[in-house]
Amino acid sequence: MTSRERVLQAIRHKEGVLPVDFGGLHTSLHVNAYRGVMNKLGWDQVKPDMQDWFQMIVFPEKKLLDHFGADCLPLYANPGGSWKFVIREDEKNEFFTNEWGIVLRKPKDGYFFDLYDCPLQKAVDLDEIKKYKWPDPEDPARVQGLREKAMKLHEKTDKAIILFNSIGGTHEHSYFLRGLDLLLMDLAANPDIADYLAAKISEWTSAHITFVLKEIGKYVDIVQVGDDLGMTNGLIFSRDMYLKYYKYREKAIIDAIKNVSDAPVYFHSCGSIREIIPDLIEIGVEILNPVQIQARNMSSLELKKEFGNDLTFWGGGCDPRVLTLGTREEVKEEVRRLINDFSPGGGFVFGSVHNIQANDPPENIIAMFETVKEYRE
């Protein structure tokens, strides 16, 4: 059985060899952790290609993907044609500006880039918000060379190909444009602004992902969308606000995908989101990531029992607290527990609970994937 077949079999809720996702947008590792793992394995290193500068995660080299049993490969559309990635520096920080005019900053001794300047944070009303010039979702540069790349991945590898969305979800990208503090106030005090941004982002994403899938859809096995809607202790805002502003906008995006593709939809949301999982299922989500099992009301056994017939759980492989602070044996015990909770009846793709962090011990990272091999032999 190929990697692609293994992953798709799990999504169809059929038992088989446990599939693994390592190296994608939500299952890769920080560049520091990557260096540590490569050193621990005694392998020579070349400078890794960065997958996402915001998170400082890498594209792991093929040797490590194979060693950890990765069954998937990530794929991205290109940015718009006029934008170029450039890092600027001052005495203490590094900066870059993305194609949306969002400025991100990282201290030179820091681990990640964070939001620094948002293009709509100084707007005082909806009229000013409406003056913003949105990038073209169907810029031909976004698919230049993409068909050939996707075809090569599909035909020259046996991996499941995941198309990752180019931006965050209707809420997440709203606060990237507006600033999180202002957007949260908008939800209560300026609903016209929050509603307008959610609508525009849903419209932009639907047009963009349709444009991309028409170009490469036959080579794509899974399509990712998402929205970071949770914190460790619950939703960022009430479910009522989710229903009012975001649920039907996310449904519009998923409907747009389904109009041009049969690929299952993978939805990423961090945090304690159990309260809205039925809503996600209702709008067409088939895969849930990263399954933050350490968050409130996100018990692996309870999630599997309540939603296991409707969702594939993608991630959920090791409590990050154990991965960071535990011993090798504690990591292995935790991984075995979660595989035993999630894997019966299929519907589980093993992966880390979001990306592996900069300070995670390399011996623990290796132990996590060594334990997975026990279930694949």
Is the pLDDT assigned to residue 46 strictly greater than 90? no
pTM: predicted TM-score of the whole model, two decimal places: 0.97
From CA 80, how far away is CA 78, in angstroms rounded?
Answer: 7
The pLDDT value recorded for residue 361 is: 98
- Confidence band (pLDDT; 50, 70, 90) for 81? confident
Average pLDDT estimate for 344-360: 97
For residues 206-223, average pLDDT: 98
pLDDT > 90 in the chain, percent: 98
Say how far apart CA 18 and CA 6 lie, in whole Å: 8
> CATH classification of 3-82+120-374, choosing from 3.30.70.1350, 3.20.20.210, 1.10.3720.10, 3.40.190.10?
3.20.20.210
Per-residue pLDDT of 156-202, as tens digits, reads 999 999 999 999 999 999 999 999 999 999 999 999 999 999 999 99
Arithmetic mean of pLDDT, 114-129: 97
pLDDT digits (tens, 9 = 90+) for 127-161: 999 999 999 999 999 999 999 999 999 999 999 99
